[in-house]
A and B are shown apart, each in its own frame.
Chain A
Amino acid sequence: MAKVIVVTSGKGGVGKTTSTASIGAALAQTGKRVCVVDFDVGLRNLDLVLGAERRVVYDLINVALGDAKLKQALIRDKRIDTLHLLAASQTRDKDALTDDGVERVMGELRASFDYVICDSPAGIERGALLAMRFADQAVVVTNPEVSSVRDSDRIIGLLDSKTRCAERGDRMDKQLLLTRFDQGRCSRGEMLSVADVLDILSIPLLGIIPESADILRASNLGAPVTINNAASVAGRAYVDAARRLAGETVPMTIPGVAKKNLLDRVFGRRAA
């Protein structure tokens, strides 16, 4: 049975889309059938990060309204056979998405994939609530920074009250993905530590993704870092997070802590 995972955060710009694409690609590389779904109607970007921006014909709203069949709207990744994208509409109004329409699409996706990963828009409006509504579990993307942590806390509250899972009386499984982490700044006391954020948000940790030039380089090229440069520190961090999401036990490493050579010590204290 498929697992529906929502990638959410409340705050914008923390790395939801990047994380959706990177984790989706990493899971698909293991042979699992994965569909990443963009819920950011009017501001879609998952297609761009995956390098599929010129291949979008039909989108989530077309399928939800019955204007197109799911098969017509799904875009298969050219690099990984098992990775698919369902894009958001760039032109339609987000109110065109209805509860019933999304529920039907989610049902169809569940039938044909192992993982359905929903990329939530920022905010706590309709699009964000619909992205989380039918999820079985959530990845809360947070930066070690006050506004992001506060918004994540709000989102955790919504995951516990506004989802089908919560309404059934079940407890939604929520995991924290700490992104744009910089160990150097953290050890100088300039940035909230992993322990600080975990302590405040009280949800288990899925992974720690370092602030990294490799991620920007990958998105410039339209390839998630797990495809473009899986051996990089950020790439490995995402691969590990994806393995944990799939239920494997992978030891947690804080990127930038293990290896620090003399040059790093003398010149730059930025990790990763």
Chain B
Amino acid sequence: MTLFGFLKARGTAPVARERLQILLAHERVSLGSCDLLAKLRDELLATIARHIEFDPEKLTVKLDRAGSTSTLEIDVEIPSDKFTSGARRAVPAQVSAA
């Protein structure tokens, strides 16, 4: 310990806490509930693909746990031309204008 060591931030516990929070936020997405996430992803892909053509790589599913609540985040990127031709064939003018 240096002479003025006591003036520095006290304790290492806050560092441990912060490192854990960052690490676990990441691991919960990639490892924690991998089964559930993989299943959700597959089913979402199948459902969306039935109606719209899109790149499967552009679908991200995230599950996060913070405090007492969990959030499920689904992000689908759909090319605008695919959306026009696939989903709303009946009213093409309206959709392309949007």
Main secondary structure of the interface of B (DSSP, over half): helix
Instruction: Give the total number of A-B pairs whose CB atoms are below 8 A apart.
Output: 55
Q: Establish whether residues A189 and B13, one from each chain, have CB atoms under 8 Å apart when the complex forms.
A: yes
Q: Establish whether residues A196 and B31, one from each chain, have CB atoms under 8 Å apart when the complex forms.
A: no
Residues from chain A with a CB closer than 8 A to the CB of B62 are: none
A63 CB, nearest partner CB in chain B, Å: 30
Instruction: Give the contacting residue for A188; candidates B11, B19, B65; CB below 8 A.
Output: B11
Residues from chain B with a CB closer than 8 A to the CB of A189 are: 10-14
Q: A146-B19, A150-B24 are in contact. Are A191 and B67 (CB under 8 A)?
A: no
B13 CB, nearest partner CB in chain A, Å: 5
Q: Quick check: is B43 within 8 A (CB to CB) of the other chain? A: no
Residues from chain A with a CB closer than 8 A to the CB of B81 are: none
User: Which residue from chain A places its CB closest to the CB of B68 in the assembled complex?
Assistant: A202
Q: Establish whether residues A157 and B12, one from each chain, have CB atoms under 8 Å apart when the complex forms.
A: no
- Band of interface residues on A: 20 to 34
In the complex, A189→B24 CA distance in Å? 21
Q: Quick check: is A77 within 8 A (CB to CB) of the other chain? A: no
Q: A200-B24, A202-B67 are in contact. Are A153 and B14 (CB under 8 A)?
A: no
Q: Which 8 A/B pairs are nearest by Cβ-Cβ distance?
A: A189-B11, A157-B32, A189-B10, A196-B17, A189-B13, A161-B35, A146-B16, A153-B24
Please report B residues at the A interface, Cβ cutoff 8 Å: 10-14, 16-17, 19-21, 23-24, 27-28, 31-33, 35-36, 65-68
- Can you identify 12 A-B contacts, CB atoms within 8 angstroms? A146-B16, A153-B24, A154-B27, A154-B32, A161-B35, A162-B35, A188-B10, A188-B11, A192-B20, A193-B13, A199-B67, A200-B24
